Chain A
Amino acid sequence: MTYISEPEAIGEALLEIVGPEGIIPLEMQWAYTVDGLSPAIVVQPASVEEVSKVIGLASRWGLGVIPWGGGTMMGLGNRPHRYDIALDMRRLNQVIEHEPADLTITVEAGTTVKELQARLAAYGQRVALDPPWPDRATVGGTLATGIAGPARWRLGHPRDTIIGIKVVMPDGRIAKAGGKVVKNVAGYDLCKLYIGSLGTLAVIVEATFKLVPTPRSQRVVACSLPTFKQACGLAKELQWRLLPIDSLWMEWDGGPCVLVCRLAGSPGAVSRSLEELDALARQYSGAEAQPLERWPEVVSSPPVAERLVLRVSVLPSRLVACLEALTALEPELMVALPLAGVAYARWPAEASTPNILQNAFQAVATYDGILVIHQCPFKYKEGRDVFGWRPPAQPMMKEIKRRWDPKGTLSPGRFVAHL
Chain B
Amino acid sequence: MSPFYGTGRRHRPLCYTGPVNRKPLRDLENIVGKRWVLSHPEELLAYEYDATIERSLPMAVVLPGSAQEVAQVMQVANRWGIPVVARGAGTGLSGGAVPCRGSIVISTSRLNRILQIDPDNALAVVEPGVLNVDVSKAAAPYGLYYAPDPSSQKACTIGGNIAENAGGPHCLRYGTTTNHVLAVEVATAQGELMWLGSPLADAPGYDLTGVIVGSEGTLAIVTKAVLRLLPKPPAVITILAIFQEVEEASEAVSGIIAQGIVPAALEMLDRSAIEAVEGYIRAGYPPEAGAVLLIEVEGVEEEAHGEAQQVVAICREMNARDIRLGFTPEERERLWAGRKAALGALGRLAPHFYILDGVVPRTKLPQIMHQVYEICRRYGLQVANVLHAGDGNLHPNILFNESDPEAVRRVVECAAEILKACVEVGGSISGEHGIGYEKRNYMPWIFSRDDLEVMRLLKEAWDPRYLLNPQKIFPSAASPEDIAVPMRDITARLGPEAEI
CB within 8 Å of B: which residues of A? 99-104, 124-125, 146-148, 152, 156, 159-160, 169, 173-177, 179-193, 195-197, 201, 212-214, 239-244, 265-266, 268-269, 272-273, 311, 313-317, 337, 340-342, 369-370, 372, 387, 389, 391-397, 399-400, 402-404, 416
A183 and B262 contact, Cβ closer than 8 Å, known pairs A159-B207, A188-B455, A244-B299: no
A393-B430 contact given A181-B361, A189-B178, A212-B262, CB 8 Å threshold = no
Q: Is the beta-carbon distance between A189 and B213 smaller than 8 angstroms?
A: yes
Interface pairs (14), CB distance under 8 Å: A147-B202, A159-B207, A169-B450, A180-B426, A181-B361, A188-B459, A188-B473, A190-B454, A190-B458, A193-B206, A212-B262, A313-B201, A313-B202, A370-B200
Q: Judging by beta carbons under 8 Å apart, are A273 and B300 in contact? A: yes
Q: Contact size class for B?
A: 35 or more
CA distance A101 to B251 in the complex (A): 12
Q: Cβ of B231 < 8 Å from any Cβ of A?
A: yes
Query: Is there an interface contact between B359 and A187, defined as CB atoms closer than 8 Å?
Result: no
A195 touches B200 (CB 8 A): no
State the Cβ distance, A200 to closest chain B Cβ, in Å.
9
In the assembled complex, the Cα of A317 lies from the Cα of B199 at a distance in Å of 12
How far is it, in angstroms, between the C-alpha of A387 and the C-alpha of B393 when the chains are bound? 40
| Contact assessment for A183 and B359 in the assembled complex, using a CB-CB cutoff below 8 Å | yes
Q: Flag if A342 contacts B202 (CB, 8 Å).
A: yes
Query: Of A103, A146, A184, A399, which is within 8 A of B430 by CB?
Result: A184
Known: A159-B207, A189-B214, A244-B303. 15 other contacts (CB 8 A): A148-B201, A176-B451, A185-B434, A213-B260, A242-B233, A266-B307, A272-B301, A315-B200, A340-B201, A342-B202, A372-B204, A389-B203, A391-B204, A403-B460, A416-B206
- Which of B179, B214, B428 has the most A CB atoms < 10 Å from its CB? B428
B contact residues around A313 at 8 Å (CB): 198, 200-203
List residues 8-61 of chain B with CB under 8 A from any CB of chain A.
Answer: none
| Residue with the highest number of chain A CB atoms closer than 10 Å, among B143, B233, B260, B462 | B260
Q: Are B455 and A190 in contact, CB atoms less than 8 angstroms apart? A: yes
Closest chain-A Cβ to B388's Cβ sits at a distance in Å of 7
Assess the B458–A193 pair: CB atoms within 8 A: yes
Residues of A within 8 A of B188 (CB): 396
Whether A213 lies near B211 (C-beta < 8 A) is: no
Whether B406 is near chain A, meaning CB under 8 Å from some CB there, is: no
Taken together as a complex, chains A and B put the C-alpha atoms of A316 and B123 apart, in Å, by: 11
The CA of A107 and the CA of B426, in the complex, are separated in Å by 16
Find chain B residues with CB under 8 A from A180 CB: 361, 426
* CB 8 Å contact bits of B267-304 with A (1 = contact, 0 = none): 00000000000000000000000000000000111110
Which residue on chain B has the smallest CB distance to residue A395? B194
- With beta carbons under 8 angstroms apart, the residue of A147, A397, A403 that contacts B457 is A403
Which residue of A174, A186, A370 has the most chain B CB atoms within 10 A of its CB atom? Answer: A186
Query: How many angstroms from the CA of A382 to the CA of B72 in the assembled complex?
Result: 41
Q: Which residues of B contact A266 (CB under 8 A)?
A: 302-303, 306-307
* B257→A399 contact, CB < 8 A: no
**Within 8 Å CB of A179, what residues of B?**
426-428, 446
The answer to whether B303 touches A370, judged by C-beta atoms less than 8 angstroms apart, is: no
Cα separation A311 to B204 with both chains bound (whole Å): 11
Q: Determine whether the beta carbon of B200 is less than 8 Å from that of A187.
A: no
In the bound complex, residues from chain A placing their C-beta under 8 Å from that of B461 are 396, 399-400, 402-403
User: When the two chains form their complex, are residues A101 and B258 in contact, meaning their CB atoms are under 8 A apart?
Assistant: yes
Assess A159 versus B210: contact at CB under 8 Å? Given A104-B361, A212-B262, A317-B120. Answer: yes
Q: B257 is contacted by which of A102, A188, A269, A369 (Cβ under 8 Å)?
A: A102
Are A193 and B121 touching (Cβ within 8 A)? no
Q: Which residue of A lies closest to B459 (CB)?
A: A188
| Cross-chain contact B450 with A175 (CB below 8 angstroms) | yes
Q: B204–A195 contact, CB under 8 A? A: no
Q: Mark B335-360, 1 if CB is under 8 A from A, else 0.
A: 00000000000000000000000011
| Closest chain B residue to A102, Cβ basis | B361
Per-residue interface assignment for chain B, residues 134 to 176, with 1 indicating a CB less than 8 Å from any chain A CB and 0 otherwise = 0000000001000000000000000000001101000100011
Q: Are A392 and B195 in contact (CB under 8 A)?
A: yes
With the chains together, A214 CA to B260 CA distance in Å? 8
- The CA of A241 and the CA of B233, in the complex, are separated in Å by 8
With both chains docked as a complex, state the minimum distance between the C-beta of A24 and any C-beta of chain B, in angstroms. 30
Q: Which residues of B contact A316 (CB under 8 A)?
A: 120-121
B363 on interface, CB distance cutoff 8 Å: yes
* CB <8 Å contact, B431 and A185: yes
Residue of A nearest to B233 (CB): A242
The reply to whether the CB of B261 lies closer than 8 angstroms to some CB of chain A is yes
Chain B residues whose C-beta falls within 8 Å of the C-beta of A146 in the assembled complex? 202, 207
Please give, as numbers and ranges, the residues of chain B lying within 8 Å of A416 by CB-CB distance: 204-206
- Check if B206 sits within 8 Å of A196, measured CB to CB: yes
Instruction: Give the docked Cα–Cα distance between A155 and B457 (Å).
Output: 32
A269 CA / B203 CA spacing, docked (Å) = 34
Tell whether B488 is near chain A: CB-to-CB under 8 Å.
no
How distant is the Cα of A392 from the Cα of B234 in the complex, in angstroms? 39
CA distance A266 to B259 in the complex (A): 13
Q: B403 within 8 Å of A by Cβ?
A: no
Query: 7 tightest CB-CB pairs across the interface, nearest first?
Result: A192-B210, A213-B260, A269-B302, A268-B302, A313-B200, A101-B258, A317-B120
Interface centre among A125, A181, A394, A404 (most CB of B within 10 A): A181
A181 with B211, Cβ < 8 A, contacts A393-B195, A400-B461 known: no
Contact A182 B391 (CB under 8 A): yes
Greatest chain A CB density within 10 A among B203, B204, B299 is at B204
What CA separation (Å) do A192 and B452 show in the bound complex? 16
Contact of A101 among B203, B206, B254 (CB under 8 A): B254
- Closest Cβ–Cβ distance, residue A147 to chain B (whole Å): 5
Query: Does B447 belong to the interface (CB within 8 Å)?
Result: yes
Residue in chain A with minimal CB distance to B261: A213
Q: Does B384 contact A (CB under 8 A)?
A: no
- Contact present for A269 and B300 (CB under 8 Å): yes
